[in-house]
Chain A
């Protein structure tokens, strides 16, 4: 069964970097995923698609501070030079016969 697993929370300091992880369930390590950001009291925004080979393609206007990578069944979102507006919920999303979301990671910028 296709499942996406995310840590519920993460934190990092202003100006630092943070790497968020989305793990695909066993047998699904070839799947691509997409990352979406949801700032407080706002709707989600598409950030990027991350392929199994680590290549990624970003949405319109997404800053260079955001990047994606992969290792095995894990897909990563790295945010560098953290800013206060990066404090948000981050969801990974994939697709099989249906569309599926991870539970989301709440990022706190200290």
Chain B
């Protein structure tokens, strides 16, 4: 059974940093692109960014709203994807979901972790 478990969320002040982790199990992690999606309170889903598998270069793409501040990485030996968030803003407050990508669509979601940016 595919499982994705996010961790690392919490309360952080504006301008500070936070790193989220996504621990995967139930599949060969290195074969898949991994993706982050967020949802602000009462709002819809917003794509944050993804990292391709090493087979496809392990490169990343980010949404314009987080480009230059957020970085996605992966450790295939540990089956973990990371979302490093720097220079956080109050508008980054959201539940952050880790997802797996199959082909080009999302086919599994984690349960999410809440990030609150507030002074």
B-contacting residues of A (Cβ < 8 Å)?
32-34, 36, 38, 43-46, 49, 59, 89, 91, 93-95, 97-101, 103-104
Number of interface residues of B (CB under 8 A): 22
In the complex, are the beta carbons of B44 and A43 less than 8 A apart? Answer: no
- Min CB gap A38→B, angstroms: 8
User: Which residue in A32, A44, A97 is a CB contact (below 8 Å) of B61?
Assistant: A97
A-contacting residues of B (Cβ < 8 Å)?
35, 37, 44-47, 50, 61, 63, 95, 97, 101, 103-112
Contact of A34 with B44 at beta-carbon distance under 8 Å, contacts A43-B111, A43-B112, A44-B97 already known? no
In the complex, are the beta carbons of A46 and B107 less than 8 A apart? Answer: yes
- Provide the main secondary structure of the chain A interface: strand
In the complex, are the beta carbons of A34 and B105 less than 8 A apart? Answer: yes
Q: Which 4 A-B pairs have the closest CB atoms?
A: A34-B105, A95-B104, A99-B47, A101-B45
- Provide the main secondary structure of the chain B interface: strand
Which of A59, A101, A104 has the most chain B CB atoms closer than 10 A to its own CB?
A101
Q: Of all chain B residues, which has the CB nearest A34?
A: B105
In the complex, are the beta carbons of B44 and A46 less than 8 A apart? Answer: no
In the complex, are the beta carbons of A93 and B44 less than 8 A apart? Answer: no
Q: Of all chain A residues, which has the CB nearest B48?
A: A99
Contacts of B101 in A (CB 8 A): 99
A33-B105, A43-B109, A93-B45 are known contacts; what are 19 more A-B pairs with Cβ within 8 Å? Answer: A32-B105, A36-B109, A43-B110, A43-B112, A44-B45, A44-B109, A46-B105, A89-B44, A93-B105, A93-B106, A98-B47, A98-B63, A99-B50, A99-B101, A99-B104, A99-B106, A100-B47, A101-B44, A101-B45
